[in-house]
Chain A
Amino acid sequence: MSDIGKKKNLLALVVSPTPTVLKYVVLLAILLYVFLPLAWLLLTAVDTNPGAYLKLPDGLTFGYIWGIITSKPIKSGSGQATHPIYMTNWIVNSLVLASVSMVVVVICASLASYGLSRLQMRGKGVLMTILLLAGFMPATAKILPLFRLCRQLGILNNLPGIGVVVASGSMGMMIWIMKGFFDNIPRDLEEQAWVYGYSRIRALFKVVLPAAGPGLAVIAFLSFMRAWGAFTLPLVLIRKESLFPISIGISSVLFADPGELGLSVDYGSIAALCILYAVPSVVIFYFFRKHLMSIRLTKIEVR
């Protein structure tokens, strides 16, 4: 008995310190890997004298961030630094693009997935598989036909139009996710509504969609974020600098005047813009996290 106890202690002495140290070393490496770029961004965006290198700020200022929000971006750095003047527009453009895309996805995906969840039909399995595969396909693969289509429809350089195009890319996946939510809403719920005098469409709005609220929130969030981060499609379909979404805008700074070392970029405002670009995802995720966690395939409890 006591022997075993001793052995255990000895073992703990030999084994435990090493893994602890190791653990922290590994964690630190991962932290650096993930957060170093973010740290650079944050430090540069609030630096009174921003530059191309990672350093502690010379002084603290929110002027660059505020400048973009108030549509008066401040120029920083040397005289010839490129200074994009449309930064505020880009934010608005991104919001328009993502919102349109989100609305289209929520409306279409919820209706489509409700039908797929509730109705029996021939070839449903095949249709669902196609939707899933389409969802996994990289948007760039479809760029040629999409470009020609937009050209014909005259929606090049048209932000809401491009929002609709971007929505088509995530539609398949969102239908799948939403169908999962609908499948877990007991049929009893809407059958009761029918029995109590509601038409199918009224029952959908009064009973089913409220019960599917978390699902709607999830696909709204995911589709918004996908459009917010969309890059290839806007890059090809938008040719006017003033109409760029943030994703294209930020990159365009480097395209326009790359320089070997990227030293002639106006880092202060761009870093501030990058921070503003990253913020919505964090904020929205924070508010939606409960619902996102609820993408689990159990029955929704009805009482």
Chain B
Amino acid sequence: MAVVTFENMTKYFGKVGAVKGLNLSINEGEFMVLLGPSGCGKTTTMRLVAGLEKATEGTVSFNGQVVNNVPVRERNVSMVFQIGSLFPHMSVFNNIAFPLHAVRWPKGKIRTRVEEVAEQLQIEELLTRRPHELSGGQAQRVALGRGLVRKPEVLLLDEPLASVDAKLRDELRVEIRKIQEIFKCTTIYVTHDQVEAMSIADRITVMNLGELQQEGAPDDLYSKPSNLFVADFVGRPPMNLLECTYEETSGLLNFGAFTLPLPEAVRGKLSGRGELIFGVRPENLSIATEGNGKNTIKGKIYVMENLGGETIITVDAGEHQIRIRTGSDLASQIDATKDIQIAINNISKVHFFDKQTKENLVYK
């Protein structure tokens, strides 16, 4: 197990920058998720750890030792690609034993180790099977077993659940987390699915266009996004982001069709900034039964999506569209034909972003 550190790590493919000046440290035994849209550099970052790509600039270190020039096969990392990338011509046993065959362990020792890992993963009875005889979940366990059999410095998981159907994905997600806890292995997990990232990670690193956007615990990313990209990317349905102007004399936020009073606490931080982007999470909004029009937003229901336990209501308010998340039983009582009032539940949980720099002005 290793501490993995990136220092100013940069990777260019020709003129295209895949990773630009990444500085990041991953602790021993930590479950780190690299999150971002496709093309954000997360997979490249992982391949740099494995040694499948060479950094243009900067360094990758394991336990403080720079490994830039250590060849792939000497790094002792494990990589699990998309679910079930097992070798089709080998039995499950040989698939798991594969990394041990590489270093030519004696036969008996290999058998003991493979059986030990298989027991921990509860796949002992599958050892004689062929990969095509496994279910998706079993194949996943075997692939993890192969990754863990030789106690790697780092376990790399490259979108392991990308090609799995939704139901199985939820199950496997939990499994992967469980297994990681058993083996306590430093893990880097790459995904573009923020729900997956939130549920599985100790810490998340959000990347976009090759640059680190924010790193932190899932909760921090959710409640204190450091910029507009993170605010928009993390959370589903996404945060409502509304352009507005701050009128300092009246202390009001002007959204065009409506205004809201600015909470006292943040007035100081926003003074002198005219154009803002106001962010509020859908669950921080609710339908007000009776509004005075001063602290609420007037709007018309555009569409209601009942998701069973909860309902997402999309409301037209002037040129803005606002999403509200609310309980389904509450939503069923709403008369969709009439105008409604939207109230903010907790004014201290709203966000303000600079329109130019996209930075969060409250949490910096």
Q: CB within 8 Å of B: which residues of A?
A: 186, 188-189, 191-199, 202, 207, 210-211, 213, 300-303
Contact = CB atoms under 8 A, between A and B. Distances in A.
Contact of A195 (B77, B86, B89): B77
Contact of A197 (B82, B87, B103, B156): B103
B165 to A, nearest CB: 15
A214 to B, nearest CB: 11
A192 B73 contact: no
B85 A196 contact: no
20 contacts: A186-B85, A188-B81, A191-B50, A192-B81, A194-B52, A194-B72, A195-B52, A195-B73, A195-B78, A196-B78, A196-B150, A197-B74, A197-B76, A197-B102, A210-B89, A301-B88, A302-B85, A302-B86, A302-B87, A303-B86
The residue in A191, A199, A213 that gathers the most chain B C-beta atoms within 10 A of its C-beta is A191
A301 B84 CA distance: 10
A192 B131 CA distance: 16
A197 B73 CA distance: 4
Interface in B126-168: 131-132, 134, 139, 146, 150, 156
B350 interface: no
Contacts of A195: 50-52, 72-73, 75, 77-79, 156
Nearest to B81: A188
B98 interface: yes
Contacts of B51: 195
A196 B84 contact: no
Contacts of A210: 87, 89
Contacts of A213: 89
Contact of B73 (A189, A198, A211): A198
A188 B89 contact: no
B50 A302 contact: no
B99 interface: yes
Contacts of A194: 52, 72-73
Contacts of B81: 188, 191-192
Contacts of B77: 195
Contact of B132 (A191, A192, A211, A303): A303
A196 B102 contact: yes
**Closest 9 A-B residue pairs measured CB to CB?**
A197-B102, A196-B99, A210-B89, A303-B131, A188-B81, A194-B72, A195-B79, A197-B73, A303-B84
Given A188-B81, A194-B73, A303-B88, 12 more contacts: A188-B85, A192-B81, A194-B52, A194-B72, A195-B75, A195-B78, A196-B150, A197-B103, A202-B102, A211-B88, A302-B84, A303-B86
Contact of A303 (B78, B98, B139): B139
A303 B99 contact: no
Of the four ranges (under 10, 10 to 19, 20 to 34, 35 or more), the interface on chain B belongs to 20 to 34
A192 B102 contact: no
Contact of B98 (A188, A196, A302): A196
A210 B130 CA distance: 14
A22 to B, nearest CB: 47
B85 A189 contact: yes
A197 B99 contact: yes
Contacts of B134: 303
Given A195-B50, A303-B132, A303-B139, A189 B72 contact: no
Contacts of A186: 85
Contacts of B146: 196
Interface in B48-80: 50-52, 72-79
A189 B87 contact: yes
A40 B54 CA distance: 67
A302 B82 CA distance: 10
B231 to A, nearest CB: 34
Contacts of A191: 50, 52, 79, 81
B73 A199 contact: yes
Given A197-B99, A303-B131, A303-B139, A192 B79 contact: yes
B278 to A, nearest CB: 44
A198 B78 CA distance: 12
Nearest to B86: A303
Contacts of B75: 195
Contact of A207 (B73, B87, B156): B87
A196 B134 CA distance: 22
A186 to B, nearest CB: 7
B185 to A, nearest CB: 15
Nearest to B133: A303
A303 B86 CA distance: 5
A302 B85 CA distance: 6
A253 B363 CA distance: 96
A207 B88 CA distance: 9
Contacts of A301: 88
Interface in B1-58: 50-52
B352 to A, nearest CB: 44
A210 B86 CA distance: 13
B102 A198 contact: yes
